[in-house]
Amino acid sequence: MKILVVMGSPRKGNTYRAVQRIEELMRGRLSPGEELSFSYLMLADAGLAECRGCFNCFTWGEERCPIKDEAAAIEARMHEADGVVFASPVYGMNVTGLFKTFVDRFAYIFHRPRFFGKTALLVTTTGMLGHKDVLKYMDLVATVWGFTVAHRAGLTTLAEPLPPSQAEANERKLAAAADAFFEALRRPERPSPSFQDIMLFHGQRGTFAEMGKTFPADYRYWKERGWLEKGTKYFVEGVRVNPVYHMAGTVMEWSVRRNARKVAEEMGE
């Protein structure tokens, strides 16, 4: 199992130690002959520049990004991994700026998802507050990018040293995270998509199908994968789609398409 850790803390502090503990616990679960590798991508050292907001990636494709740095290599590292740990402490009630820059630089993946079949683990540490919002945000990012989220761990690090009850609570959370991630990596079955997953699929499909001139890169990407074909129910074949969700998504797509056509006409598409 090959794991990439995307570390959003600027230092090797609480969040880094939490992920290292998860790594240690997972190593303890290995059977003879099984292999596990952890590679840590410290965003602080990766030198990802901030997005300039040119929209080139959305409109024309990520290869047209004017910033020439490590972004493409980082995406390649995520593709090479079986599982990705997204880790960020809570800074100012949100993910760190480093982590947000990482998300912004890969924002085209929200339109052109690509990590189906890969497993994600979400880890945050906080002084006291904000961990639920951070985990919710990371969950949205990972899910829309195509990952299956195995587990979300939010640890509290209020005082140094931690009171024993808090240290024990954190240790339990780390053990649960290690177990869930390990099991999900061993059995990477894709669960049935949620209502939100299905609505997103149909909403995006309606938009990109009708607005191919405004979103040429998205249109091409969706078409190449067969996602625009009638009868396609979801990004991934072979997963069970709840028929009620499918029905709701189809109705929503019909309405999205009608609006998108109107906008496209106004724009001369």
Ligand X SMILES: Cc1cc2nc3c(=O)[nH]c(=O)nc-3n(C[C@H](O)[C@H](O)[C@H](O)COP(=O)(O)O)c2cc1C
Interface residue list for ligand X (CB under 6 A): 9, 11, 13-16, 89-93, 125-130, 157
Output the smallest distance, CB 128 to ligand X, in A. 4
Smallest separation (angstroms) from ligand X to the CB of 10 = 7
CA gap 249, 194 in Å, rounded: 11
Please identify, using beta-carbon distances, which residue of 82 and 133 lies nearer to ligand X: 133
Contact call for residues 15 and 88 (beta carbons, < 8 A): yes
Min separation Cβ 232 and ligand X, Å = 42
Nearer to ligand X, 128 or 251 (CB): 128
**Residue 252 carries which side chain, given as an amino acid letter?**
M
> Which one, 93 or 247, has the nearer CB to ligand X?
93
Partnered with residue 40 across adjacent β-strands are 5
Q: What is the DSSP string of 61-96?
A: -GGG-S--SSHHHHHHHHHH-SEEEEE---BTTB--
The residue whose Cβ lies closest to ligand X is 13
Work out how close the CB of 131 gets to ligand X at its nearest, in angstroms, rounded to a whole number: 8
3-class secondary structure, 123: strand
Q: What span, in angstroms and rounded, lies between the C-alpha atoms of 207 and 230?
A: 15
Question: Where is 102: in which H helix or E strand?
Answer: helix 97-105
| Nearest CB to ligand X, comparing residues 129 and 244 | 129
3 state DSSP class of 33: coil
For residue 168, the minimal CB distance to ligand X (Å) is: 17
**CB nearer to ligand X: pick between 24 and 269:** 24
